[in-house]
Structure 1
């Protein structure tokens, strides 16, 4: 007995000693990830001292972003990891599972599309992170604009029913459904054009490797051991996935996957092998197609399990620990103030937009003309608002900058995202002069997430460009201009800052410039940047990039030394030579006001100014997401359309101010009746919409659940509203007003139905509730 107890105690100690980590898959559980299930089931992770949580991707997930943000420790990604690394994301490839990409384009054989060139002018569904397919199409002369792009539904029935002419698929997955249905098909693989990318790459972040080198090494080794086992025992793993990880796919489907994966796995090298030369060839293909820069630096991208760990990160981290406690209070206070300022009226938003020094504008990317330009355009370029609205893109920029804008718009149409959120451009003024501007943009989308416009903020940076140029030309002018700018200008060498201008004191809150000497960039920063990377590590990377390339520009979260309050800044690092040694000049600009302007634009675009609830545009986006979620999970959702009874009576009697107060209170009551995952939106006037997601799998049970929520809302709104009303004689008194609600409910699941139809069904049910006497709930029935 004692021996048994000791053994149990030892086992418990071993269990508690396991290092908990998470693996983010890029799709739902299936044989595509067999090796990781095998490593967990056969105890390979446990033997390596790891307790691994394997997470399947959800409909709203961005798996790579989950790893970058620290929500997961490891992930499975496509060759797009290379593109992200080229954009400065700190992703590191640990191992290659598929030596050949499983991505291909699939068409029905009876569609008449027998070769790739016949896709010209056809509708394609191409999933994101499909660099090899984009490169394949471009290499065959099918550049962007030669075909129509539809959002990927990940439903093979859309191809069968003619909603798309071609669809990106995994050769190991979707063809099974067509084979089972007896539908003949064509597969077009990038390998036919010599584009042979890797597929399903195990990856992590630089921070993970630097902070936990032994964990990374152990996780990689255990995972590859799992893959060896899985491919030697495929039937065992098929049964394991079916019984332990959900039954989305049948046993036959999983076996099909296992069979089709064999040609994708390595034959002459071990699983996980990465060839640097082949990665370089992949980068060359992407560069040839304009998908990344040709001078990509592979340093740090490919993991070497035999490389000794680097502990220099530890020393940089320790410096930030000392200020963490004080900084937490400063951050909380800053967030509190920011949130308070966002809750202002629509008129306040408009005043800010029209009186800011920056120019705020909206561009219709379909018609390629400006639909809004703020009055500050006159101060910036001399043109009136009407004149600016009539200008084409070519007339709004110099020839060189207009080409940059055209390339950016082409990229937006191709990938659905902007190439970069900030661009420095030249614009002509009415008096014939040329100014430099910094244009910061964000994408406006319709209910189907398609880009329809750009929201932008343009700031005059002519002076900053002039200063930067003169600083490079003359050390004398550098000293003269040091104190003439509101930007903090500092000089940095290997020992830290050694020269600062007076604006540094204003920006960072010190009393003596000497305080900043010998400080590093990370010492004036929060411990971590918003991307999740340690500030010391990231600062050193930016400094190294500036030394290599001459200059680098980036956004940074700084902190004041007198209060630890953080603020966003734009930092320009210029490498230069001073007194015979290499130094770096840092120009820091506080962009808190610009960030606030960007948030104001976002609020104007997607939220109701009175109630602060999502507006109709955001409602359609949330409803589209709810439909996709219902389709994936098999659970029902419900849409409640409600109209306030007796609202017009209050408006007529007490005025619109009283009506507005009631609407705000009604919005608060509605929000208190639902879960955080649900949506309450103002549809217009005294009409509101509530979206309930992730109910139950059966319609009757889900309807009961939706009815309970509707009844809770009805009862809450039937309670009297106590409103402070100002009468014509300017006397204010409290008024008790009763305002019930008529509620219509429409259920939805994975049925084929559009957004407007769901809303119309709930609307019709609501009118039935009104006809029945108001203060009622009615469900839609066909």
Structure 2
């Protein structure tokens, strides 16, 4: 073959996207890698960018980086930003919104509890740490009556320790992951959302520059479409995308936490209700109005140059019209030929269809009657046989049933004595088909007129047809007997056989329904008298049953709980835990896996205003088709056990005399502080102190006085130190202090001087006023040691040296 033809065929057959180099673009993320950007990972994993002829680099943010600056400067073609992009646009920045990925902003305020109930006013006069682009939170605080002068604004450092250690009263955070981190760490917090004040902004918006939009509209369209396809895939297959993330963009976040974050993002993206990236211009007008009310905008700008608009396609109307006309002509010719052929068959089938429609209508009525649960068996069978005779007035149906003790005698035969004797003679042949002699006979009179008596017809002139009931003959034996004056045809046999089968099914269903009622009564008796609380719930969180024992445990009656959703029957944290488990269980069952075992301690509101703890175990509920339809659970009261466990946990970690942390708790906090300081290159100090003149007090005034002095010393140290510091009693008269975050090594000396001065003051005890002092040794990380044992050993050596110097100076 000529080589020129070979390469020509190769170019014609080869995919176009493989013939040209992919165009490289960068997407600047607004945070470090996490499930928050799952759609872009999915677009990369599934090849959506590659199919669009793009090679996309996903760039994580670094501290202090501004995404908008990266896009405007051209270092990135696309970026992810908050709704504050509107403020940048109003200031004249070159920004074009492409898609609203988060239909509801995930920005919230997390605050440490300072009162029994959450109160945003508690932030007045406090330090509040907000990240860049969090103007919606400032608008929320303003709407709640907190102006910029009412709190101290601190620059965000992208970490939770400042909140945990009490450095700030509140921080901005993402509701999809950071509350979960605090829950997992066991840290109590309050969560405030701007949506509670009517401020409902978009979040994580995809944007570009107007310059790129005008210069390369095809590139922008391809990137936007591929990214939104990625978001659709990511929210439908979170587990698969997480696996790809952990391989391609590894983070410190666990798989379980990423799954929980994915579940929490469902309500923010709402991909089950609207397509990803949906933009509502009226809602952006609302966002602009909120900014204007807060003084962040002088006027609402024209949004035409800000919001995404699809590029106009090339007008090929005339080409489409010509193709449609040609296609219409071809279809018309084909349709004409098809109609001619079909009409011949329709004329043949029409007569048969009319006959079948008449029977199907009657059959549907019979089935509807058989499905009625409230009708007694005798009334039900009477109605069914009346419908049969209405369909064929020549039919005279009779239902022969055995088992008089199990199935009621429906209707007595209304015949003359001669007619009854003739009937017994005619049906004697069917007596062998039943368990016992003496059949109960049901005769249906002709509608409108009495049925002709058997005595009026000569023997041999009536035609009989019998159909055994096609059920369990050991349970429902019987025969459907029909007589008429003319002969039976094939069509009659088909109809009557069908009716016999339906009657048998109807009688079996009636019997099974009675058995089911008895079974349900027994099960309800067991659940109603159980000491534990037994409950069921559907897949949307509605309580569908709960045993009366709930009133002993929670104070609510079963009727009151049945009106509650799972979010009302549990506290917020426990409800979130259950809902996350429901999402994971639903995903596993949908994937063909069994319902996962779930055992957890959950907190529930009590009617008296408090809460109770219960150990809950659940299992899946499936219908007859094997479909997962709900959850059944058993709850056991754990309130007293949890109180005992908490008390024991406290005793195991605290000194019984002073109430200060003991050695075990101190070492745990020291290890945590060392890990944090190593990661963030911070300093910490350990101070080891021993009381002077303690033994003389103990010897002169007794152990009670010594114990009182130790408690007074512990209280004095506790008042001197910050909330983030730790003071512990190691044993005897030996105490240790942890200073976890130092701005300067000079702080250690100042703290040691304060402690020395405080413990040199007289202590007024019950028996006497005494004056002691202390010897202090100190060790600084990382200068004096790199681990806990080294720091304590060095501090101990320094304390010993100081004590010897004090003794030598006497």
Shorter-chain TM-score: which interval?
0.3 to 0.5
**TM norm structure 2:** 0.40
Larger Rg: 2
Which is richer in strand?
Answer: 1
Structure with larger RCO (C-alpha < 8 A, sep 6+): 1
